[in-house]
Amino acid sequence: MSMEAMIDLFLGLERMSPGSHETTAKAFHTAAQDHEIQTIVEFGCGSGISTLELARQSGASVVAIDNSSPFLDQLKQKIDQAGLGQQVQVREQSMDVAWPEGTQFDLIWCEGSAYAIGVENALRQWLPLLSPGGRIALSDLVWIDPNPDEEVQQYWKDQGEILRYPNDTRALFTSLGYQMIDDFVFPDRDWQNYYRPLKNYLPQWKSAYSDPENAGMVDQMFQEEMRMYDQFGTQYGYAFFIAQRAP
């Protein structure tokens, strides 16, 4: 399936993963408790639905990173429209590139994107980027049901996604040098915020996209993903994990 087609689809949508302004704000306020946040790096910002929210909530300088230039171009337009050009800097680079020695931020933000390089890998690489007591807010897919249906287990396995139980994710954070602050599962409303516009937009996008074969494959993939959520959405979810660099 072509990446170009996926990118084209999401350029027509505001949201690229489950979420809401309320969820972003809740995670941010948890991360900012008793800690002054002046600098933020966001990994996998996409077209920046959370980036602008974070910039407004925090007043901090934000470096927003993604490896897809079309999403970043869209984000740059939004930054200009919002008059946030002094505060938000956009960088096209991979989440897993090495940073100059000594680079540190008060908060690392990664919403719906860490799967791309693997959560364990991300947590290992990003710890040195946190200033003393620095915070991280990262969202990831988790199992909720202790006995998820065979069909949904197979589905996520086929997608190459590793779903953990929140307990195991917490243990992973701790084993890699973080101290957990809190975590919570996104409400169903956040999935509807993502899937409702996607469902409405897919038919029109599919008929207009220049490469019908790839458009068909992308459509089929998301129809299947939405069917899974309709059928098994109480068995898995997205969760935000908020932690700090252990002293």
Ligand X SMILES: C[S@@+](CC[C@H](N)C(=O)[O-])C[C@H]1O[C@@H](n2cnc3c(N)ncnc32)[C@H](O)[C@@H]1O
Which residues of this protein are in contact with ligand X, per CB under 6 A?
15-17, 19, 44-46, 49-50, 65-68, 71, 94-95, 111-113, 116-117
Minimum gap (Å) between residue 12 Cβ and ligand X: 13
Q: Do 242 and 30 contact (CB within 8 A), yes or no?
A: yes
> CB–CB of 240/138 below 8 Å?
yes
When the beta carbons of 60 and 138 are compared against ligand X, the nearer one is: 138
- The SS3 call for residue 180 is strand
What residues have CB less than 8 Å from 66, skipping those under 6 apart? 44, 45, 46, 72, 75, 90, 92
Residue with smaller CB distance to ligand X, 67 or 159 = 67
Distance of closest approach, residue 181 Cβ to ligand X, in angstroms: 20
CB nearer ligand X, residue 232 or residue 238: 238
50/214 with CB nearer ligand X: 50
Report, in Å, the least distance between residue 131 CB and ligand X.
Answer: 22
Q: C-beta of 127: minimal distance to ligand X in Å?
A: 18
Nearer to ligand X among residue 125 and residue 246 (C-beta): 125
Q: Shortest approach of ligand X to residue 227 CB, angstroms?
A: 19
Residue with tokens 């090495």: 98
Rounded Cα distance, 243 and 129, in Å: 14
| CA within 13 Å, CB half, 75 | 31
Q: How far is the CB of 147 from ligand X (least distance, A)?
A: 28
Dig out the tokens for 176 from the structure.
Answer: 């890699």
Nearer to ligand X, 91 or 157 (CB): 91
Q: Is 3 exposed, middle or buried (0-12, 13-18, 19+ CB in 10 A)?
A: exposed
- End-to-end, the C-alpha distance of the chain in Å comes to 44
The residue of the chain with the least Cβ separation from ligand X equals 46
How far are the Cα atoms of 115, 116, 124, 185 from residue 112, in angstroms, in the given order?
7, 9, 18, 13
